[in-house]
Amino acid sequence: MSFEVGHAETVALVGESGSGQTTIGRAVLGLTPVSGGRVLLHGRDITRVARRARRLLASGLQAIFQNPYGSLNPARGMGRTPAEPLLVGSAPLGPLGPLGPGGQRRHR
């Protein structure tokens, strides 16, 4: 599988249950070891860099997995949920706004 994501683009991995969407997402985020191939981020193979370097490279990535009730905290605004990893990682945070009509609506 090969795909490219441009600056400020959003990607959804869609497929039948068990076809690997979660595994691909976890591999891109560095949460699952990759047994073959490469995961390039900003031109660097993140499967072959030190954890600290990978963390810096991936500081702008965020995933919301398929179960919105397990992924999204209803007590937080939609702008806060995707921003949380940036806050935890001490990355600079830009202005946040609603991520769609209704602001806090959850969809699957």
Encode pLDDT of 28-57 as tens digits: 888 888 888 888 887 888 888 888 887 777
Helix segments in the chain, DSSP class H: 21-28, 51-57, 68-71, 80-88
- Please report the pLDDT score of residue 15 as a whole number: 86
DSSP 48: G
For residue 46, give the 3-state DSSP assignment: helix
pLDDT of residue 70: 64
Lowest average pLDDT, out of 1-5, 19-23, 65-69, 89-93, goes to 89-93
> pTM here?
0.54
pLDDT of residue 101: 44
The pLDDT assigned to 69 comes to: 65
Q: What is the mean pLDDT of the chain?
A: 72
More confident residue, 89 or 9: 9
d(C-alpha 50, C-alpha 30), whole Å? 11
